[in-house]
Amino acid sequence: MRLRGTRASRNIEDRRRRGGAKAGGIGGVGLLIVLAVGYFAGIDVTPLLEGAAPMQQQSSSRELTPQEERAGEFAARVLTTTEEVWGQIFPQQVGKPYRPPIMVLYAGVTQSPCGGASGATGPFYCPADRKAYLDTAFFATMERQLGAKGDFAAAYVIAHEVAHHVQNELGILPEVNRRRAAVSQAEANALTVRLELQADCLSGVWARAVGSRLEQGDLEEALNAARQIGDDTLQRNAGRVPQPHTFTHGTSAQRAGWFKRGYDSGDMNQCDTFAARRL
């Protein structure tokens, strides 16, 4: 992805220099908190991280590594592209001004109004404060553990979380939350799948709009990332037989398909997963 000359967004809250936790996982209570708000998350990789070592506390402050500096700069520039794209598309297709989210960069664990967050469970969006949360170490997790390589795969993750913010701006997130509270767990999971696939489709709309910044192979990187984080693939990689009634993000084929639908159309109206008979 060509980002040279793209300014870094000012809508960044960098918490990575603060004291926190490091290493492989999150304690049981923290994990339950994160899973309780899991329907906001773009990616849930906990099936791959079960049994990980507990977090270990670090000092109260620290310097960022060169790798962290690069990851933060990358995230800030990608966020700028989402601001430019939705700042144009949202008024055109919705008829309202677009209010961009804040992106919180953190290392290890952090807190949000939606509960505790851990890099082990992937990026997520919290509608209570209109902020997207990202542990930049997740980029390495994507490449090493999930098989989702490439800078555009990482950019897709950011775009997906911003897509949840777009859903919040449209009033979709609170409506889905209300509906989830009134149905069974299996039905709630099915609603969550439609929410996530819609975010994938909106990410595709963003990808089409940044076409001039794409390089050869970028689109395939995003599609591969979508496939690698499908519920069926994650459950198989964790040694489980996929159980569709437990899916909360959609299959690999569904995630890639809805991303491609958004990319091919560039039209938010084509992303109405809630009206689709088949996903």
Q: What is the DSSP string of 192-213?
A: HHHHHHHHHHHHHHHHHHTGGG
At residue 117, the pLDDT reads: 76
At residue 119, the pLDDT reads: 66
At residue 277, the pLDDT reads: 92
Give percent helix, percent strand, percent coil of the chain, each to the nearest 5: 55, 10, 35
Cα 31 to chain centroid, rounded: 17
At residue 157, the pLDDT reads: 92
User: For residue 205, what are the CA distances in angstroms to 48, 82, 93, 100, 198?
Assistant: 29, 10, 12, 16, 11
At residue 234, the pLDDT reads: 83
Cα(1)–Cα(115) distance, rounded to whole angstroms? Answer: 33
At residue 104, the pLDDT reads: 95
List per-residue pLDDT tens for the chain, 279 residues long: 999 899 999 999 999 987 554 433 333 333 333 333 333 344 333 333 344 334 444 446 788 999 999 999 999 999 999 999 999 999 999 999 999 999 999 998 888 898 887 766 678 999 999 999 999 888 888 887 778 888 899 999 999 999 999 999 999 999 999 999 999 999 999 999 999 999 999 999 999 999 889 999 988 999 888 888 888 888 888 888 989 888 889 999 999 999 999 999 999 999 999 999 999
